[in-house]
A and B are shown apart, each in its own frame.
Chain A
Amino acid sequence: MKTLRIALARGAIFEPTAALLERCGLDLTEVRANSRKLIFETADGTRFITTRPTDVPTYVEHGAADVGFVGKDVLLEQGKNVYEVLDLGSGRCRMVFATPEGEDRSLEALRHLGTFRVATKYPNVTRAYFQERGISPEIIKLHGSIELAPLVGLAEGIVDLTSTGTTLKENRLEERFQMYESTTRMIVNRVAHKILAVQVSELVARLRAAMAEAL
């Protein structure tokens, strides 16, 4: 029987995802041992590829991997054509809107200018979220250290992920509201979902069982 090709993201969600897959009986010894290598094959023929979190949906959408594990935040932002089949419940973080402590300057800008500037790594999610509420903020796309933008006057606020809130506090930013909550999701290529239905269903069942055991 054909085995699955699984895309894993190196980064914050790697450890809980890897631990869960191991509880399902998959062998990740080598994946854990060698963080430079990109392709791994286990004894039963299962192939793992490791990549950046934001690239996981791309590999899966194109069918270069059958299955992938990635945060809901990335899926929301990219809107890829893949099956989202399972919420692993791990890798929990929140996508929030934050502005510098004290008076919320974005409200001030909105009142006077009808808009405000928001810096983010998630331009699509941010645009859609505010537009649904009748606001069209000016979106400033950044690739890292989003917290810097409001401190140097590049934007009034930011949209970013936070799990503990420490980074926000260190930069004297205050969470104004939560937009979304994100957890790790299992995604499946739309053709693999049909042609490898048995293998996919079996992995989902094993993951569900392992998650139920942990509760």
Chain B
Amino acid sequence: MALLRTPPGTKDVLPTEAAELRLIEDAVRTVFGEFGYGEVWTPVLEYEEVLALSEEQAFLTGFRLLDEAGKVLILRPDLTTPIARVVGSRLRGGVLPHRVFTVSNVFRRTASQRGQDSEFRQAGIELLGSGLPEADAEVIAVACRCLERAGLRGFRVGVGQVAFFTELVNALGLGPELARRLMGDLVAKDLVGFRLAVEQAPGLDDDDRRALLEVPELRDGAAALDSAAGYVRSTAMQAALDHVRAMQEALTAYGYGDRLLFDFGIFRNLEYYTGLVFEIYAPGMGFTLGGGGRYDNLLGRFGAPMPAVGFGLGLDRLHVALVEQGTDFGPAEPAVLMVGALDGHVTLADRLREACVQVFALPAGTPLRS
């Protein structure tokens, strides 16, 4: 007999786990609805050449197959890029902003580990066509509301601003090659390589080098914003910083102001982010539950240039975090085991079901201890 296994990084979900995941997903969907987001479904398979428009290196590790014409298909590696394709095609020309959400399985080749599988279920929203900091605040508020509604306690949201660093690089007039190397090191979290690159970069004075090294290290809570002001060298940097402050103010109105940790060293692991970015941390968890940010250049690559902001939440990861903090998901077993409900007292069992009692039917004569 063949080994009855599933491919690495995938798994079967059995009733207890599925029921808990469903509760989480329902909570998240409800919140998305409350904010007026409409659900969009996209195919599991996409043309590689279409997703390649995103110029996202991280997708190179996706699962691929060939169609009958020899075209390369890729299993959906994230939620945002397919939405960008939809906006560039079928949502083109509508009234802005668009608010859409998706809840889908996404696929990436990763070393299998806890909360990080090859196939995982994500829930995400995209707010398309608004560049306002208040739009970022809404997206973060939706994320916080989802976590709260799912029952997660003590979570924090780390907020960074990619543009503050990229505009510093612009203000210093660094070449595109060096700029790419620096961003690459920061995205890869290689701060040793980053420091070396800054120290070796030609044509910079000590002040320039200090600014490059210190900006990604600005991460002392709310005070990081005040410290950042000291590094502003251009109106674009000022605008990037003002954007964060305006978002913070807007988020306070939702009641989530004190969840924020400001950190100019957050660059996320995708390269399409252009502005404000954020990550969600849960107490005691070594990985992020999700995150998102502003990607103002992505839609242009799909023929519909407009600012956009969104986030994705790992539902499996959120589930791990909830289990870890001892969340009560309610009874996993049916409320009533009814002997004879399968082959005699069907009507009675059905009446109970109509009264919203879960009935697990057993044939007559089933001994109770079994």
Residues of A within 8 A of B (CB): 60-64, 81-87, 185, 189-195, 197-198, 201
Contact = CB atoms under 8 A, between A and B. Distances in A.
Contact of A191 (B221, B269, B281): B281
A191 B263 contact: no
Given A61-B286, A62-B113, A194-B261, A82 B220 contact: no
B41 interface: no
Contacts of B219: 194, 197, 201
Nearest to A186: B192
16 contacts: A63-B284, A86-B191, A87-B195, A190-B189, A191-B281, A191-B286, A192-B286, A193-B265, A194-B261, A194-B263, A194-B281, A195-B156, A195-B281, A197-B219, A197-B221, A198-B220
Contact of A63 (B193, B221, B287): B287
Given A61-B286, A62-B113, A201-B217, A194 B279 contact: yes
A64 B284 CA distance: 9
A62 B288 CA distance: 11
Contacts of B220: 197-198, 201
A63 B189 contact: no
Chain B's interface size range is 20 to 34
A198 B158 CA distance: 14
A64 B113 CA distance: 13
B189 A84 contact: yes
Given A191-B285, A194-B158, A201-B217, A185 B263 contact: no
Given A62-B113, A62-B287, 10 more contacts: A64-B286, A83-B189, A83-B191, A190-B286, A190-B288, A191-B285, A191-B288, A192-B286, A194-B156, A195-B156
A86 B193 CA distance: 9
B350 interface: no
Interface in B221-278: 221, 261, 263, 265-266, 269
